[in-house]
Structures are given as structure tokens and as C-alpha cells.
């Protein structure tokens, strides 16, 4: 009997031996290097099922974000996933870095509705379900996002989609970013480098036009695109951003996501102390999912 792509993936993972899943390697360094000798596998790729009416898509974790975006564009929808060119859906979810549109669309974990993963024992396991309704109970899908493949290996996912915006517009100027955010209804993103403020507006054309007029009155003008983001990400309490500047250790440059707490900087964020209770819980959880430590050995979620 022919095996499905997911079944073949589970068979390749097997029940023993150190193993990791390779995507586009666009964020391969996050969490540290995997241990030498670890087997490298690739997750299934391709659009399995697209349900425009339900606003969901089932897709192999090895599918590139660009290919998924192109398929969804044909039905006027999209999934808000970030990632550099070549990034895969599974890789972006495993790393857990949200897109710059998080201010309007929420964190990346809200995109994932269902995941079919391979456990440390080599078994196929389903978590979640293909619905956008809230449910009670333990949400394993949210736990997988940002786990760097240390709890299970993602093979296939169901993602929530949104209508593709009728209009999308970037503006920039020297306006105070915090004042700007307070004056607008729901900006998709407000970025700031200590001097320049960038604003992304998305939605219906009339709404974008109305919000643009407010931004222009505050001193912004339309620009072609977003700023180039420095390579490293810092996590900062959103309320602290107004008190920080280029002298706070970000390096030669930074771009902060106002209202979110993510700062893109030119140098890595220094290690932060981890509360003993958080460290113990993380270790206990990883041991429970992967007792032999075979999934992405060497990766450290708390050290990323």
C-alpha cells in the first residue's frame, strides 16, 4: 500500500536517533546549532486543501511561504506569516517570529488551527482542529509555535486565512510614533528607528485613504516600502520602548515595532536571566514530549 506524504515523513523520522527538519535555513541559527551527526529531513510540501469559504488552508510544513502566498492570492486571501525569501511554513511556525503586521493581526500562534506532527516515538499525532472558533482545554498548537521542533516535528498544518487587503500603503516621517498610534483606528504596523516613523495601513480603500489623511496631517508622506530591518530581534516590554534609544545597546541601528515590543537590532540581545521556575517547567515539558532528547538536540528555546 502506498504511503501518504505524512506517513512517509513519519517513517523517515522513525523511533530513534537524533533528527531535525530542514526548511529554507533562513533562521537556522535561532536557538543554537543542532548537535553534530543529527539526521536532516524535509517535511512534506504542497497545498493539500484550500477552503476559501471557511477561510482555512491545509498545507505541508515544507511549503515555502512564497508559494503559499501565491496560491492564496488566486482566491483573494492571505496568511500573515513573515520570513525571508525561501522560508517554509513549518520553519516560520517553529521559530515563532511574528510578522510586522502583528499590531493589527496578532501573534503568529493565532494563525495555527491544526497541526499534524511526528512525535519523538515516530508516531503521527494531530493537535487542534480546522476551525476558527475558540475551544477550551489544552492548546497543543500554541505550544508548538516557537518550540524550535523540540517537542514534535511539524508535518502538515491548517492555517487561518484573511481577505487580501484592497489597499496597502506605507507612509513615513518624523512624527512621534506613540502619538501616531493613538490617533489612528487600527494601523497594521508602526515602526520607529529613533528618528523616522513608518506606518503601514491596510484594508478597504476608503478606510486607508481616511487614515492616510490623518497621518499626512501629522507630517507623514507616502513611501514605496518598509524600512530594511536589522537582522537580530530583541524582545522588550512595549511600555519601555518610549524610554529607549539608539544608546540602549541595540547596536548601530534598530527598528522598533511600536505597541508590540519587538525590536530589530544590529546586534544580538544579551542573554537574560531565566526564572528558576520557568527553566524547570521548560525542561520538564521537553522531557515529557521527548524523553531521549532526539528532536533537534542542541536547540535551546530559552536561549534563543
Q: What is the DSSP letter of 57?
A: E
What are the Cα distances from residue 111, in Å, to 97, 105, 160, 304? 12, 9, 5, 22
The number of beta carbons lying within 10 Å of the beta carbon of residue 204 is 12
pLDDT of residue 240: 78
Residue 81 has what pLDDT?
A: 92
Query: What pLDDT, on the 0 to 100 scale, is given for residue 271?
Result: 84
Res. 196 pLDDT band, cuts 50 70 90: very high
pTM of the model: 0.92
pLDDT over 70 at 103, yes or no: yes
265 pLDDT band, cuts 50/70/90, is very high
Grid coordinates given for 17: 536517533
Strand partners, 47: 59
Q: Which of 149, 126, 118 has its CA nearest to residue 16? A: 118
Amino acid at each position: 500500500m502506498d504511503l501518504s506524504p505524512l506517513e512517509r515523513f513519519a517513517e523517515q523520522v522513525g523511533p530513534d536517533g537524533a533528527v531535525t527538519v530542514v526548511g529554507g535555513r533562513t533562521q537556522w541559527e535561532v536557538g543554537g546549532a543542532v548537535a553534530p551527526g543529527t539526521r536532516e529531513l524535509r517535511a512534506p510540501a504542497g497545498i493539500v486543501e484550500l477552503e476559501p469559504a471557511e477561510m482555512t488552508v491545509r498545507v505541508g510544513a515544507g511549503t515555502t511561504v512564497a508559494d503559499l502566498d501565491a496560491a492564496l492570492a488566486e482566491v483573494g486571501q492571505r496568511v500573515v506569516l513573515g520570513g525571508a525569501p525561501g522560508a517554509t511554513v513549518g520553519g516560520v511556525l517553529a521559530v515563532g517570529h511574528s510578522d510586522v503586521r502583528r499590531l493589527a493581526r496578532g501573534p503568529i500562534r493565532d494563525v495555527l488551527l491544526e497541526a499534524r506532527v511526528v512525535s519523538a516515538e515516530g508516531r503521527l499525532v494531530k493537535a487542534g482542529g480546522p476551525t476558527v472558533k475558540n475551544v477550551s482545554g489544552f492548546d497543543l498548537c500554541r505550544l508548538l509555535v516557537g518550540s524550535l521542533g523540540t517537542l514534535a516535528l511539524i508535518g502538515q498544518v491548517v492555517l487561518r486565512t484573511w481577505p487580501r487587503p484592497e489597499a496597502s500603503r506605507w507612509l513615513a516621517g518624523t512624527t512621534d510614533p506613540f502619538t501616531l498610534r493613538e490617533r489612528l483606528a487600527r494601523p497594521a504596523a508602526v515602526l520607529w528607528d529613533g528618528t523616522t516613523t513608518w506606518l503601514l495601513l491596510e484594508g478597504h480603500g476608503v478606510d486607508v485613504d481616511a487614515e492616510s489623511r490623518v497621518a499626512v496631517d501629522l507630517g507623514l508622506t507616502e513611501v514605496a516600502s518598509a524600512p530594511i530591518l536589522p537582522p537580530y530581534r530583541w524582545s522588550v516590554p512595549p511600555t519601555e520602548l518610549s524610554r529607549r534609544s539608539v544608546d540602549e545597546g541595540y547596536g548601530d541601528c534598530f527598528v522598533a515595532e511600536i505597541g508590540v515590543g519587538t525590536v530589530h537590532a544590529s546586534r544580538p540581545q544579551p542573554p537574560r536571566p531565566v526564572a528558576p521556575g520557568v527553566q524547570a517547567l521548560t525542561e520538564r515539558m521537553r522531557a515529557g514530549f521527548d524523553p531521549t532528547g532526539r528532536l533537534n538536540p542542541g536547540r535551546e528555546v530559552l536561549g534563543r
